[in-house]
Every structure is written in structure tokens, then in C-alpha cells.
A and B are shown apart, each in its own frame.
Chain A
Amino acid sequence: MGVLVELDRVSKQYGGVRALDQVSFTVEAGEWIAIMGPSGSGKTTLINILGGLDSPSSGRVLVDGRDIGPLSEKDLTRYRAEKVGFVFQQFHLIPYLTAVENVMLAQYFHSMTDEKEARESLARVGLADRAEHLPSQLSGGEQQRVTVARALINHPALILADEPTGNLDEANEELVVNLFRELHGEGHTILLVTHDSGIARLADRRIELAHGRLSQVSVLST
């Protein structure tokens, strides 16, 4: 498998705060990477830059061979729709759309809606019978599984998950973690931020950030 993501001395400066400092690493297609580090170390910043939600102050971010740094707002929007699937700690679902509509929204922004496919995606995260529920009618774990279904729906090259289990109890955490294991097994490329070393152990590699710098890249033997 080839290199999917390559970061080359990426820095991000927020006013006086250096959130990322000369970060370089590569991600192979199909790899599962766990990103760890204390609070404020730049994990979310890194995910946002990879996902085209934020631009680096310097350095290059190559995804599929294309530098996403200089992309215009419009092209970044396209990039997000086509290449990236997000899973956030706070779920972030549209409150007035049902589970299946939330999934379809990602389809809509990508190209066309396909309700059948959206329902299949929900079925695969175990929510076939919750398709018509509004987010407020779903438990936290169920909401997070809807966001996983939404992240998958457009077959993104990159799945970016920022503490996806941070707001879940153990039972739901296990459900969601198992989903990521399955996705990894199917060959998806995953970057997952977590504070849980147990979850991190499931990944192929672990990247540690401290004060915006890469402190450790460990390859886990599998």
C-alpha cells in the first residue's frame, strides 16, 4: 500500500500559541493511527488541518499526492465532501434531521442522496430501527454510531475521529471501538485521537504530541 498522507514540517500558529510545531509524519493507506498527547498538545489542531477545516501556517500537507495547504475555501469544501469522514467527540448531528436524514445530508453535499444506501449504512452500525429518530431521541452511543455511519457514507479516503469515545460510557465505547476495528479490517485509513491507551493499542501505530511537537512515533508490532 502506498503513502496516503504526508505531513512535512507542518506548523500552526494561533496568535502567540504554537499549536503545532514542525510536525512531520506519513500515513500509509489502510493504516490505523492513534494520536495521543495531553490536553492542549495540538491533537484537534492536527485533525482539523488534515480534514481541511483549518490551514497550516507553514509546511505541507499532502493527501493522495495533493497539497491541501494552498487550496481555496471552495476547493477545501470539495475536499472535505469527497475525501474525509469526520467523527467528533460531541457527535455534531443536525438536531432537526432524523438519523437517516443526517446521513443523507453528507450524501447531498457529496453528490446525490440515496436513502437506501443511507439506511444500509445505519444498519451496519446497528441502527436500522432508529433511522427515523431525531438525535434528541437517541442515546449518546447511538448518536455517535450515526456519525460513524455518516462518516462512512461517501467512502472517504480518510476517516478522522477526534476522541470519538470521549463522551461515551464503557458499553457504548466498546460498540464504537469495535466499529473502528471493523472499518480498519476493511482497509479504511483511520486517524483517531484518544486518551485511552487501551484503544490506542488497537491501532497500527501511535503518534504522541507534546506542546505541538511530535514526541514519539511508535510502531506496534502486530
Chain B
Amino acid sequence: MFWRVLRGSLRESRGRLAVALVAIISGAAVSSALLDLQFDAERKFTREFRTLGANVVVSPPSTGSRTDEESPVFGGEELQKIISVSNGGQSGVTTFAPFLFVVAHSAESSVILAGTWLDEAPRLAPWWKVQGQWVSNRADRQHCLVGRQVARQLKLSPGSSFEVTHAGRKINLEVSGILSTGGAEDNQVYVNLAVAQGIAGVGDGVGLVEINVGGNAERVQNFVTELAARVPELEVRPLRQIAQAEGQLLSRLRMLLLVTVALVLALTGLCVLATMATLAMERRSDIGLMKALGGAMPRLVRMFLAEVGLLGAVGGALGSLLGAVLAAWIGRRVFGTAISARLEVFPLTIALMMAVAMAGATPLRLLSRVRPAVVLRGG
């Protein structure tokens, strides 16, 4: 009988319930999409932030950044230690590369020759834009990437060759690609490490090592501590601002998402509330009659809650499916990455929507005040 009454009243009020259902579906879609984003954000953003380059720099004491000209160098022995720590399974290091900077000359003007592992560059500095070809092999001693300003100054383009001298040594380089970054690199010529080491005459010495450690600030700090212990003669500096900015952005994003979800749920609840208030009025006479026939209030309340709960469950299920699509779309359009729907969001959304629907159904409680004698008189 319970189900017959449920079915009957669902059919009877399908117009109003459809309005509430649409509200619940939209609410569920938006909040589940946001929850998908929220769950995905941490994972996603830590990965996205890794692409922002190095967050740890190792260099001889009291030298500045890699733009320092003729900076002191350290030898291959230390580099090997750094490599072994970085390659340790627990280090969290995603990529790293050594750098050596040499001030050289070409066609009467001075250029900064930067030596590194050019095959690592796309990973360590993914924002670099290269017109032409990257240099994909770190053993390549012939090709180079020329910064945009240098290329303009020396009238170089991909395929052209030029000569570079330093301390009486001379090398011939072929331009593989023109590099534009909007930073200091635009004024530099990038070659493989061995080329720079050769012209500088420093053997296997390097000026600094840039390392990217994935994960949160704490993880970065742990790595810095570990590495500093292994190479005490070098300075190991975390580039804190990146790790902190990452953390801050994440927690702000999380706040924003949660506040939005709360708002959406509140709005959904209000919409259900308005519908249910009307419905309660419409059902007064039916409820009065059921009471007159001996229907106890808890029983009648259960019927309504089942109805509303069902509405919430159906709305939540449909909405979270829609939300998964929405999340994927937002991911693609707004963040340019694939946001995958999380399985746990489905039951969570359904439960949330049932709760919201029940909360929105509080006007139905007014029905417990319905006096059958009054209703049956037509009041």
C-alpha cells in the first residue's frame, strides 16, 4: 500500500515534483562537478606545478642565480652525489639538470653561452617556446638554441651557423631553434653542457644544478635537507615561493569550491523548499482525510520522506552523471586538462541531495498540524 500511495502521489504531483527534480539535478550536477574538480585539483595541480620548473637550486656558496657570469664551478664528483640523491626512489625528484654559464664572444659582441642537458630542457622548462627544432640529444656538440634577442642581434635563423670564441678557444655552432621565454634566456645561447665545459676549460665542472621536486612544500624541504647533508660544501636552496604559492593557491581553490558547493546546495534546498511548501498546501485535504481514516502521523511522514528521498536519490544520480560530463568539460575548457569523475563523488552527491531534499521538505512538517475536522469541513 505504501508503494501504491507513493506511486499515486508521485504521479499526482509530477508537475511540482518535476520542478523540484530539475532543481536537484542541477544542484547535483554543479556540486558533483565541483567536487570532482576539488578531488582532482590536488593531484592535478601538483602535477601542473611541476611544469613550472625547478624548485631547488644547488650551487657553490654565495653565488646567485644562473645568470651570474663566470660563476664559480663545482666538480663532477659533487654532481654525481647530487644525481644519486635525486635518483633515489623516495626523493620525489621529477627532473633535474646541471648548468654552466660562460661569457663568450661572437662577431665582436659578447654572448652568454649556457650549457645544460638540452634534452632535459622541455621537462625542466616547459614554457620555453622554440621556433625550429629542439636539441634532443645531450651528446650533440654541434647544435644550439639561440635566444630571441641574440638571434636578432646576430641575424641568425634556424639552419644558420656562427662562430663563438672564449679565451682563445673557438667553436662553430649551428642554430637548431630560436628560443623565446620572455626571460633571461632570450639573451643567451643554449648548448649542451659538454660544449660549454669545453670552451670554458673547466673539465667536468658545472655552475649550478636545477632540480624539480614534486609534491608539497614539506616534501621539497625534506629533499633539501637530505641533499644538503650529502653535499655540505654546496649551497642547496629551495625556491620557496613556488612551493608556497602552490599550497596557497590550492587551499584557496579548495575554499572557493567548498563555498560554492555549499551555496549551490543551499539554493537547491531553497528551491525544493518552495516547491514542497506549495505541495504541502495542495495535499492538506488528502492528509486530513488520511488522518481521519486513522493514518498515524509517523506513517504519513514516512510516506512523504520516502517520496522526497526518492526524489533526492534520482536527482542526485542523474545530476552526478551530468556533473561528470560538466567536470570533464570544465577541465578541458578552463584548465586545459582532463578532469576525471571520481567514483566516490557519486554516492556522496546522492547522499547530499537526499539530505538537501529532506531538509527542503521541512514544510511538509506543517502537515502534522493539519486538523482533519477542519479540512473535512472544507477549511
Chain A residues proximal to chain B, CB less than 8 Å:
44, 48, 51, 53-54, 73-74, 77-82, 84, 86, 88, 90, 92-97, 101, 104-110, 113, 150
Contact = CB atoms under 8 A, between A and B. Distances in A.
A106 B294 contact: yes
Contact of B294 (A94, A95, A101, A109): A109
B167 interface: no
B77 to A, nearest CB: 87
Given A74-B296, A95-B12, A53 B290 contact: no
7 contacts: A48-B373, A77-B297, A78-B294, A80-B293, A88-B376, A105-B1, A107-B1
Given A44-B377, A104-B1, A105-B1, A86 B9 contact: no
B377 A97 contact: no
Contact of B290 (A73, A79, A109): A109
Given A74-B296, A96-B12, A54 B290 contact: no
The 6 closest A-B pairs by CB, nearest first: A81-B294, A96-B8, A96-B12, A108-B1, A53-B373, A109-B294
> Chain A's interface: helix, strand, loop or mixed, by majority?
helix
A86 B8 CA distance: 23
A37 to B, nearest CB: 16
A169 to B, nearest CB: 21
Given A48-B373, A81-B293, A92-B376, 12 more contacts: A48-B376, A73-B297, A92-B292, A94-B5, A95-B12, A96-B8, A96-B9, A101-B1, A108-B1, A109-B293, A109-B295, A110-B294
Given A95-B12, A97-B4, A97-B8, A105 B376 contact: no
Contacts of B290: 94, 105, 109
Interface string B275-306: 00000000001100111111111010000000
Nearest to A48: B373
B333 interface: no
B316 interface: no
B238 interface: no
